[in-house]
Structure formats: structure tokens, C-alpha cells
Amino acid sequence: CGVFGVIGVAEAANFVALGLHALQHRGQEAGGIVAHDPETGFNSAHRFGYVRDNFTKASLMETLPGPLAIGHVRYSTAGSKGAVIRDIQPFFGEFAMGGCAIAHNGNLTNAAQLRRELIERGSIFQSGSDSECIIHLMARSIQKNIPERMKDALRRVEGAFSVIAMTRTKLIGVRDPLGVRPLVLGTLGDGAHVLASETCALDIIGASFVREIDPGEMVVISAEGIQSSRPFGPSTGRFCIFEHVYFSRPDSMIGGRSVYETRRQIGVELAREAPVEADLVCPVPDSGTPAAIGYSQESGIPYAMGIIRNQYMGRTFIEPTDQIRDMGVRLKLNVNRALVRGKRVVLVDDSVVRGTTSRKIKDMILEAGAAEVHFRIASPPTAWPCFYGVDTPERSKLLAAQMTPEEMREWIGVDSLKFVSLDGLYRAVGEAQGRNPERPQYCDACFSGEYPIVPSDQMERGFEM
């Protein structure tokens, strides 16, 4: 998901709509905005579909006045899949000291247990979302102000969370102790402040990047300025390495690094680790493009657009059901026949999850007359599900959990299939020594099976680490 908030501008909701539009790649199912205006109080709108189709209409935006607003774009990893309007964030709670809206990116790993406990004690849940627990935990807190109640609530939840919240007068941002999901702070003009999942959302409104919110940090922004605190004590981050590989936008900066440059560097590592004689390097667009450029530059094999993407389709994996996903590949990608006929082609993609995409692309490219097909994947085999906010399927559906790389190659039906090593990936994100096995610098659980946060709900349901 993507989150965005701004305080101190006229018509804050318009800025939020723009910010969410820049974060649309983080969630395409639905979006919501809550704004506060001293005269009319809190107003909100929650809609299915793209931000640009909903939140640019003057009629809707006029219902969201005020200098303070937050928003969320959703893709479902928890809660009900598909169309339930009550699951669209931000969520809102009215407490004795006033209202509070929250928008959450990430996934809570003990939400099922918390929900059970809260329901037993009288909470009335409105949605199927794990994030709603935060509101109910806040309602039960005895603290006198909303930021303190949020701290209470967030000390009880486990998992990954980058949360943006707002009261009548404050914009709040928090990251979980490991900082698994991103969150950045920006400024706009004279004294306006912005919180966003990624820097690309600052760019779109002309805001300047100030810094990242630290893992385990809470910032409370009001007319008095910015207050920072560490509600969870000291901690070392374990940022999601897959944000670098796939999830974030290539024009965003993470930890001072360009996401594009990191992806290009993964391609360089791949070319060193898994060279092959071939005529063309082609990306599986768009997610494989920067790595393909790096592979081409390092290997000297010409880069070409052997697969063309229909720009009007969304990301296939964000569609919630397998059936739509299966069709999705053909609706979205087509082979550039004239280019690939008779050629030995290196195809570069970011990841193999179920293997559906790779297999379909192999069919299409062989049918178009390619002489050889060599897959190069810009991440290690995805053998474990993510419980922290990326929608990987259960283990039984992950190709790499069922097969060795050689079996995968055979199943996909290509001449070769190679994945970048975990160390190669760490080098590409700037860790010259590779992965530190004693204290890994990142979360890489979907590749290593080493979960930095115990997925306790899942374990209750029989998941074995």
C-alpha cells in the first residue's frame, strides 16, 4: 500500500490526491482520503479504483476542504480480497479528545489474535482489515492525548507498519522498530510538511525531501513544529530488500540510493554471476527494465525491447485472483516478433513467484521464432511468503518452494534460468561485503526464510518457519 499526508497548505486533499497518484503502483484496488477543516470537521471519501478516476473530480474534492489531510492507496494483503468498501483506508476513530484517522502500509502479524481479544472485550470491528486493530487499541488506551494513545496501541501490535495519522491539528508518522516499510518526510513552501511512502510522491507536488523517518521513530507535526520520539526503544532497521527489487518506483530514493541505480546494479551482478552468449537482452517490462539495462551494459549484449507492454493495464500481481492474473499476462505483454525471430534472447525479469508470467512469456517468445531463451531474474528464488505487506501467495504456490532451480528451468521450458544470488543482491543495494549472515542488514525472508518478526498468526494456523 501507499500512504501520504500533508499539513499546512490550502486544500490539503488536492495534494494528497496527487501524492497518492504518484504512489498508485503501491496499490491499485482502492484509495481513500480524510481531510480536516476547522469549520466542517473531518470529511472523508473512499473509492474503488485509480486515484485519477476518483479524486480529481472537483465535485468530490470540494467535499474534502481543509489544511490537513491524509490518504491511502490499497492493495489487499490482509482482510477480504476484492470489493469491500469498509476495508478502504484511512480508518477513523472518535475519542474523548477528538477524532483520529489512520492510514497503514504493511501487515500486522498478530492482528488475528488482537482482533479476537478486542472483540471479546467489546470492540465492534467495521472491516476485515488488520489495520483496524490500531484504532480499537487506541480506544482502550487510558492516555490523555492521541499521539500517546497511538504509542500504546503500536506497542501491542507486531509486524510491519508505516502509519500516517491525523488529528484535528496534528500529522503523525510512525515506522515499526525494524522499519520494514518506507516512510519519508518532506517540506513544501513555507512551513508545510509532508509524509509519504516514497520520494516520488514528494516530487509530484514539488516538495523537498528532508529525511526518512527512522525505524522505530514517531514524528508529530503541528503548528509548533516537529516532535520526534522513539516509542519502542532503540532498534536497528531491517528494511524490505524487495522494495529495492520491485515494489518501489525506480525514480524514488531509498536510504540515499536511487532505486533505478540499484536495479541496474542487480543486472550488472547478474551478468557477472550468470553470463551467457546471446544476441539480445530484453526486459520483461516494466519491472525488469533497469536490471536488463545493467545486464546489457555489463555483458556488452545489445539491449532491445523484445516485449512490449500495453500501458493501459495495471500490474498483474496486484489483481486479487489467480484467474485474472493468468489472463493478465497476455493482456499486458506482447512479443515484438520482427525483433526476436531467429535470435538468442536473454529475458530479464524482477522475480519468479508462481512462474505463470515466465511460462507465458516463454510460450509467446518461442512462438515468435526466438532461437534460444535465457531467463535472468533480478532476485533470488522466492521460496517463502511475505507476511509484512507484500502479497506473495502461500508456500505451496511458490514455484521456488516446490522445485530446484533446474526443475524450474525445465517447468518454465527455457534454455537457461539463473537468479541473482542473495549476496549479489546485497552488493547491488550497496553492501559491499554482501549479506551479513549473523545480522542481516535487510529483511529478505521471502528469499532466505529467515523471518525477522515472528509471524505469530500464521504459526497459529500451522505455518512452519
1 is catalytic: yes
| Residue number, 55 or 442, with CB nearest to ligand SF4 | 442
To Mg ion, the closest distance from the beta carbon of 412 in angstroms equals 15
What residues pair up with 209 in beta bridges, in sequence order?
A: 186
Name the residue with cell 480508518. 91
Task: Tell which positions 365-424 bind ligand SF4, by CB under 6 A.
Answer: 386, 388, 390
Provide, rounded to whole angstroms, the least separation between the CB of residue 97 and ligand SF4: 34
Per-residue burial over 352-377, b if 16 or more Cβ lie within 10 Å, else e, is bbbbbbbbbbbebbbebebebbbbbb
- 240 belongs to the binding site for ligand 5GP (CB under 6 A): no
Q: What is the Cβ-side half-sphere exposure of residue 323, based on CA atoms within 13 angstroms?
A: 0
Contact 45, 97 (CB under 8 A): no
The SS3 assignment for 117 reads helix
| Residue placing its CB nearer to ligand 5GP in the complex, 44 or 76 | 76
Please identify which residue in 357, 368, 445, 457 interacts with ligand 5GP, judged by CB under 6 A: 357
Is 282 annotated as belonging to a binding site?
no
Nearer Cβ to ligand SF4 (335/399): 399
Q: Number of residues interacting with ligand SF4: please give it, by CB under 6 A.
A: 11
Maximum CA extent, the chain: 72
287 near ligand 5GP (CB under 6 A): yes
Cell of 436: 551479513
In the range 187-246, which residues lie near ligand SF4 by CB under 6 A?
240-242
Nearer to ligand SF4, 111 or 307 (CB): 111
Tell me: does residue 355 bind ligand 5GP (CB under 6 A): yes
Of 445, 3, 348, 374, nearest in space to 184 by CA: 3
For 210, other C-beta atoms within 10 Å of its C-beta total 14
Give the strand order in the sheet containing 208-212.
41-48, 30-37, 68-74, 2-7, 192-196, 184-188, 208-212
- Interface with ligand 5GP (CB under 6 A), residue total 18
- Could you say which of 163, 278, 443, 453 contacts ligand SF4 (CB under 6 A)? 443
If contact means CB under 5 to 8 A according to the sort of partner, which of Mg ion, ligand 5GP, ligand SF4, none does residue 354 touch? Answer: ligand 5GP
Q: Is 350 assigned a ligand-binding role in the annotation?
A: yes
If one asks whether residue 375 binds ligand 5GP (CB under 6 A), the answer comes out as no
Rule CB under 6 A: say whether 17 interacts with ligand SF4. Answer: no
180 binds ligand SF4 (CB under 6 A): yes
Distance of closest approach, residue 114 Cβ to ligand SF4, in angstroms: 20
Q: Smaller CB distance to ligand 5GP: residue 14 or 262?
A: 262
Strand pairing class (2-7; 68-74) = antiparallel
- Member of 446, 455, 457, 458 binding ligand SF4 (CB under 6 A): 446
β-partners of residue 181 are none
User: Least distance to ligand SF4 from the beta carbon of 240, Å?
Assistant: 3
For residue 74, give every residue at least 6 positions away whose Cβ sits within 8 Å of its Cβ, in sequence order, or none. 1, 27, 29, 30, 31, 32, 87, 88, 89
**Nearest distance from residue 390's CB to ligand 5GP, in Å?**
5
Burial 213-232 (b: 16+ CB within 10 A, else e): bbbbbbbbbbeeeeeeeebb
133 is in an annotated binding site: no
Footprint on this chain of Mg ion (rule: CB under 5 A): 287
Q: Looking at 30-38, 79-87, 229-237, 346-354, which segment touches ligand 5GP (CB under 6 A)?
A: 346-354
With beta carbons less than 8 A apart as the criterion, state whether 2 and 29 touch.
no
| Percent of residues in the chain assigned helix, strand, coil, to nearest 5 | 35, 25, 45
Residues contributing to the site for ligand 5GP (CB under 6 A): 246, 284, 287, 316-317, 349-358, 390-392
Known binding-site residue numbers for [4Fe-4S] cluster: 240, 386, 443, 446
- The residues assigned a catalytic role are 1
